[in-house]
A = this chain, B = another copy of it.
Amino acid sequence: MNLPIDSIRNKLTEKGLKVTPQRISILEAVYKLDNHPTAENIIAYIRESNPNIATGTTYKVLETLVQKQLIQKVKTDKDIMRYDGVVDKHHHLYCSECDLIEDYVDEDLDKYLKEYFKKKSFPGFKIEDIVLQIRGTFDKC
């Protein structure tokens, strides 16, 4: 994913966020870095062009972007958080061998699951969202 700066500015503005160079760099980094970067990955990347963005700022901005739904957090087995610039509904392929995480979109399956759970409602629980964690290994691993 590779977006022009103006598009990034617009996204921030639309969400009522001040447009700062830090936010632009960080959101751009999440889009540009493949494989669901960690905060550390993002910090390393933005420091190349912007050496004095503070670590704390990066975490704060990431959290803000998650709150405003411009990016997503991705759960992993490890205790390190990773981020995803894709906010449309999707699932994840996790590799058991390496740390690769791949996005997987399947609207048909989403529809099926929605119907399935509509019939099979849980008493006392209202479903908001269903995400699949698909674990396996890539051939190359």
Interface residues of A in 107-141 (CB under 8 A from B): 109, 113, 116-117, 120, 122, 124-140
B132 touches A132 (CB 8 A): yes
Question: Does A60 sit at the interface, judged by CB under 8 A?
Answer: no
B127 touches A136 (CB 8 A): yes
For A117, the closest partner residue in chain B by CB is B134
B81 touches A79 (CB 8 A): yes
A127 touches B132 (CB 8 A): no
Asked, given contacts A76-B75, A79-B81, whether A135 binds B125 with beta carbons under 8 Å apart, the answer is no
For A106, the closest partner residue in chain B by CB is B120
| Inter-chain contacts of A134 with B (CB < 8 A) | 117, 127, 129-130
Name the one of B76, B124, B133 contacting A139, with C-beta atoms under 8 angstroms: B124
| Inter-chain contacts of A126 with B (CB < 8 A) | 136-139
Interface residues of A in 47-101 (CB under 8 A from B): 73, 75-77, 79-81, 93, 95-96
Task: State A132–B117 Cα separation when bound (angstroms).
Answer: 12
| Inter-chain contacts of A76 with B (CB < 8 A) | 75
Task: State A113–B80 Cα separation when bound (angstroms).
Answer: 29
Which 6 A-B pairs give the minimum distances between C-beta atoms?
Answer: A75-B75, A127-B136, A129-B135, A128-B136, A131-B133, A124-B139
Chain A contact residues, CB within 8 Å of chain B: 73, 75-77, 79-81, 93, 95-96, 102, 104, 106, 109, 113, 116-117, 120, 122, 124-140
